[in-house]
Amino acid sequence: MEHTSSRRGPAFARRGKGTRGTQHGDRTQGAQRTDRAPRDSRSEPRFGESPRPSVRPPFMKDGRRAARTVPYGERSPQAISRAEGRPKFDQRKAGPRAAAATSWENVAEWYGTHLSAPGTYQSEVVWPGALRMLGVGPGKTFLDVACGEGSFANLIVKQGGEVVGIDAAPTLIRQAQNKHIRNSEFLVGDAANADRNLRDRKFDGAALVLALQNISDMPAVFASVSRMLNKNAPFVIVLNHPAFRIPRQSSWGFEDDRKMMYRRVDSYMSENAIPMQMHPGDAPTINTTSFHRPISSYITALSAAGFAVDAMEEWISHKESTSGPRAKAENRVRREVPMFLAIRGRKM
């Protein structure tokens, strides 16, 4: 069943040696604990800069050379024209180095490939629901917090909006930039203090999609986003459902006599941080961290940051079992046990 596996952050990275990446997405979760991945001493860009190119030119799996990333400040005349009049980013401000334990930098290539596959939960359930709750339309500018490789931002643009995306993983930002999405900007940065660099920018809405469960300082992120939103602007967060998808504390069961599948939950109220193995069997040393919190924690944190919650939705799986002795039970439990929780706050 799909509930056994599922997707942003501490600070902007300074140039120089240090760990890379931060909490930037509960994009997909494994289910086993491993040791932390080794730290990477390669330097990282500051907020607003494109990732530094590697010494060797990047190549895709089929041997083709990957698209060149245009560094920030070397944009096309069209992009420069669109950006005229916008406040300059403060390149000098940079926070502490990132935490490797929650980084998605090491799985960035895999994640981009995963999202391009047909029939994903993101494309069929999550993104359509988030767009609807966000109220995307022409003439509006949105902030995509923990934007990953830009897939959700691209959908915002297709519906007429403009978007600024931030993510702590340089490789994911590079992938987003390489898509050359019109009316968009993608920046390496930390969601917990993005307003320090974007303090002169105001947005008509913000989204944090399947990422909050990989962010340690949730109150700081909510406060930062709140300071960048116009009054009454929506802030939509989408989570793996905190009541039913708790790493190591929830599982599937089946009652043979009743022919019914059920969801077992062993712990819910206790907050915890759980190291998650991203590729059990293939790459056992690559991991991130999932932070579990009860639903009340999200509502309380949103209220403290100046949001009034005006909508909450629970989304079920779109998949269907068509064969097998438990197909009927599996389909029933899909309809009854939601996979995702979406919460919308309004900036007061």
The whole-angstrom separation of Cα 322 and Cα 331 is 9
What is this structure's pTM? Answer: 0.70
Task: Indicate the pLDDT class of residue 278, thresholds 50, 70 and 90.
Answer: low
Q: pLDDT digit string (tens) for 123-135? A: 999 999 999 999 9
Segment 226-250 mean pLDDT = 96
Closest CA to 339 of 207, 239, 208: 239
> Is it the case that residue 59 has pLDDT exceeding 70?
no
Mean pLDDT calculated for residue range 98-115: 47
Q: Is the pLDDT of residue 249 over 50?
A: yes
CATH of domain 2-347: 3.40.50.150
pLDDT for res 54: 44
For residue 279, give Cα distances in angstroms to 19, 99, 169, 313: 21, 20, 18, 30
CA atoms within 13 A on the CB side of 59: 5
Place of tokens 């303090």: 199
Highest mean pLDDT among 211-220, 277-286, 291-300: 291-300
In this prediction, residue 119 carries a pLDDT of: 81
Percent of the chain with pLDDT over 90: 55
pLDDT tens digit string along 120-179? 899 999 999 999 999 999 999 999 999 999 999 999 999 999 999 999 888 899 999 999
Closest to 87 (Cα-Cα) out of 183, 200, 202, 227: 200
Alpha-carbon distance of 326 to 334, in angstroms, equals 12
Identify the pLDDT of residue 348.
Answer: 97
Whole-number Å distance between alpha carbons of 342 and 126:
9
Tokens of 55: 């010494």
192: pLDDT strictly greater than 80? yes
DSSP state of 264: E
The pLDDT, as a whole number, for residue 124 is: 95
pLDDT for residue 279 = 54
Q: For residue 231, give the DSSP letter.
A: T
What was the pLDDT predicted at 287? 67
DSSP 147: -
Share of the chain above pLDDT 70, in %: 63
**Rounded-to-10 torsion of CA 208, 142, 127, 313:** 60
Say if residue 189 is exposed, middle or buried (CB neighbours under 10 Å; 0-12, 13-18, 19+): buried
pLDDT above 70: residue 19: no
**Structure confidence at residue 194 (pLDDT):** 86
Contact 311, 271 (CB under 8 A): no
- Could you tell me the residue ranges of all domains in the chain? 2-347
Mean pLDDT of all residues belonging to the chain: 76
**CA distances, 198 to each of 44, 79, 87, 194 (Å):** 19, 18, 8, 6
Sign of the C-alpha dihedral computed for residues 127, 132, 135 and 139 taken in this order: positive
Residue 116 has pLDDT above 50, yes or no: yes
pLDDT for position 70: 39
- Report H helices in 84-164: 108-116, 121, 127-134, 151-158
Q: What is the rounded CA–CA span in Å between residue 105 and residue 288?
A: 10
CA 205 – CA 228 distance, rounded (Å): 9
Q: What is the DSSP letter of 341?
A: E
